[in-house]
């Protein structure tokens, strides 16, 4: 313990006597730490932002469009239109295992009027399962379509947030009545604002959604334009899609291998591509930050080598007086690790400050919100510790291996 106390006192004296050298060493570590933390934090923030934007369309859903057959099947020629109605959706729900949720979707453009304001809007007729699948979450005080609305064919409407602002202004619109397609509809909810980078029929913030049963009564339309479903687990989407295609082909009489009869968009593939791309991107950013930190570590090694040269005589005297090699090694390693820790702590603080400034600047919609997550902190700390240990070990080893007699003559 007394020996280590002496090492700490020597460390403080060395740092105090070499202020400029200490400052430059610490700055190298600070810069490397900030680089690693910020590159990984911004990469992680961008990944979360992109996932959120993709989930605006729906969280790993599958969208299917009935179209025309491109192959003859059991005596029926190609080019036949495939039509899917509510009975088909109900049959799929009962007969296909692995479906977590499914909903048909009618689509049309209708005239909406509230007071003196008139707009032509996109209207979808759907089932209650549609809302959670498409991440159409209502704002506080409202709700989405429920099974009772379907059963009673209620004239209720769920409104996109941007359309609500345009049509109703700053009024609280839940509970108000809007004229849609010449009929009065009660507003039951407004979409909670969300990020949405992709769509297949326009952005949700400018849509109106009504019960599918009400849509059929209002328009007389029987067949859906598309239907949406998701499996119990995202990795089962492909398997469930095959089952649905086969079940529909048997029910509607078309070749199960006819991809044109039923067009499919599995959004799970987009998430897979995004995760793979962002993993590679973040790995690249982490590598760039690590190289920057290594450069700082090389600076530490160079400076510690100079320290060893300057203190060769002092080391020789200590060894002549009985200081063991491991004590000399510990002294220089401790000095290196202390500088590394100081630089790392300052670097973490700067990185956290920059992330907080960016988060409050309102740029999250474009670049995501950078966060120095526990994983980033662990990776950076591990890099700091490894680089600091390696940077200090070789100069410390050289110091511990000095011949006392030769060292005292220098």
Residue 5 confidence (pLDDT) above 60: no
- Please give the helix or strand (H or E) that residue 172 lies within, else none: none
**Tens digits of residue pLDDT in 248-278:** 999 999 999 998 999 999 988 877 777 787 7
User: What tokens appear for 392 in the block?
Assistant: 């200090």
Q: Say if residue 404's pLDDT is above 60.
A: no
Q: How many CB atoms lie within 10 A of CB 125?
A: 27
**247 closest CA partner among 223, 265, 227, 221:** 227
**Domain limits, the chain:** 2-54+272-409, 62-266
In this structure, are strands 99-114 and 177-180 parallel, antiparallel, or unpaired? antiparallel
By C-alpha distance, which of 327, 347, 330, 338 is closest to 385? 338
Q: What average pLDDT score do residues 317-336 get?
A: 68
- With b for 16 or more beta-carbon neighbours within 10 A and e for fewer, the 170-198 pattern comes to eeebbeeebebbeeebebbbbbeebebee
Residue 394 clears pLDDT 80, i.e. is over it = no
Tell me the backbone φ, ψ of residue 75, rounded to 5 degrees: 85, -5
Mean pLDDT of the chain: 83
The alpha carbon dihedral of 172, 174, 180, 184 has a sign of negative
* Residue with the larger pLDDT of the pair 176 and 43: 176
Report the C-alpha gap between 124 and 252 in whole angstroms: 24
Q: What is the pLDDT of residues 217-232, one digit of tens each?
A: 999 999 999 999 999 9
The two structure tokens encoding residue 83: 């039509």
Direct distance between the N- and C-terminal alpha carbons of the chain, in angstroms, rounded to an integer:
30
Assign 1 a pLDDT band (cuts: 50, 70, 90): very low
- Residues 208 and 195 sit within 8 Å (Cβ to Cβ): no
> What digits encode the pLDDT tens for the residues 286-302?
777 777 777 777 776 76
pLDDT at 408: 52
How far apart are the C-alpha atoms of 322 and 201, rounded to whole Å?
A: 83
Higher-pLDDT residue of 31, 60: 60
Render pLDDT for 96-153 as a digit per residue (tens, 0 to 9): 999 999 999 999 999 999 988 999 999 999 999 999 999 999 999 999 999 999 999 9
């Amino acid at each position: 313990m007394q020996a280590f106390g002496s090492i700490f006192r020597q460390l403080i004296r060395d740092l105090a006597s070499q202020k400029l050298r200490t400052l430059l060493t610490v700055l190298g570590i600070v810069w490397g730490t900030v680089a690693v933390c910020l590159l990984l934090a911004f990469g992680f923030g961008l990944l979360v932002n992109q996932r959120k934007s993709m989930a605006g369309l729906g969280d790993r859903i599958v969208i299917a469009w009935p179209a025309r057959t491109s192959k003859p099947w059991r005596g029926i020629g190609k080019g036949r239109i495939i039509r899917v109605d509510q009975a088909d959706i109900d049959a799929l729900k009962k007969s296909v295992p692995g479906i977590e949720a499914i909903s048909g979707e009618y689509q049309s453009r209708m005239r909406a009027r509230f007071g003196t304001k008139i707009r032509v809007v996109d209207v979808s007729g759907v089932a209650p399962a549609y809302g959670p699948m498409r991440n159409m979450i209502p704002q506080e005080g409202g709700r989405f379509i429920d099974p009772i609305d379907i059963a009673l064919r209620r004239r209720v409407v769920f409104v996109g947030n941007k359309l609500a602002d345009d049509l109703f202004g700053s009024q609280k619109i839940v509970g108000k009545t809007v004229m849609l397609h010449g009929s009065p509809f009660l507003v039951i909810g407004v979409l909670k604002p969300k990020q949405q980078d992709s769509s297949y029929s326009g952005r949700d913030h400018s849509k109106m959604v009504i019960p599918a049963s009400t849509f059929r009564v209002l328009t007389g339309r029987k067949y859906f334009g598309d239907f949406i479903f998701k499996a119990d687990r995202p990795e089962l989407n492909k398997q469930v899609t095959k089952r649905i295609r086969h079940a529909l082909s048997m029910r509607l009489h078309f070749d199960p291998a006819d991809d044109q009869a039923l067009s499919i968009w599995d959004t799970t593939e987009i998430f897979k591509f995004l995760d793979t791309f962002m993993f590679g991107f973040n790995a690249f950013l982490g590598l760039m930050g690590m190289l920057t930190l290594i450069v700082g570590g090389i600076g530490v090694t160079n400076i510690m080598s100079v320290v060893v040269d300057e203190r060769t005589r002092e080391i020789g005297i200590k060894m002549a007086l009985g200081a063991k090699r491991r004590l000399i090694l510990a002294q220089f390693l401790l000095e290196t690790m202390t500088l590394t820790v100081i630089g790392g702590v300052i670097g973490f603080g700067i990185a956290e400050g920059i992330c907080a400034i960016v988060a409050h600047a309102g740029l999250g919609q474009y670049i995501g919100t950078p966060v120095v997550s526990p994983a980033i902190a662990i990776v950076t700390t591990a890099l700091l510790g490894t680089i600091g240990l390696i940077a200090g070990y070789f100069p410390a080893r050289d110091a511990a291996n000095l011949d006392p007699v030769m060292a005292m003559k220098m």
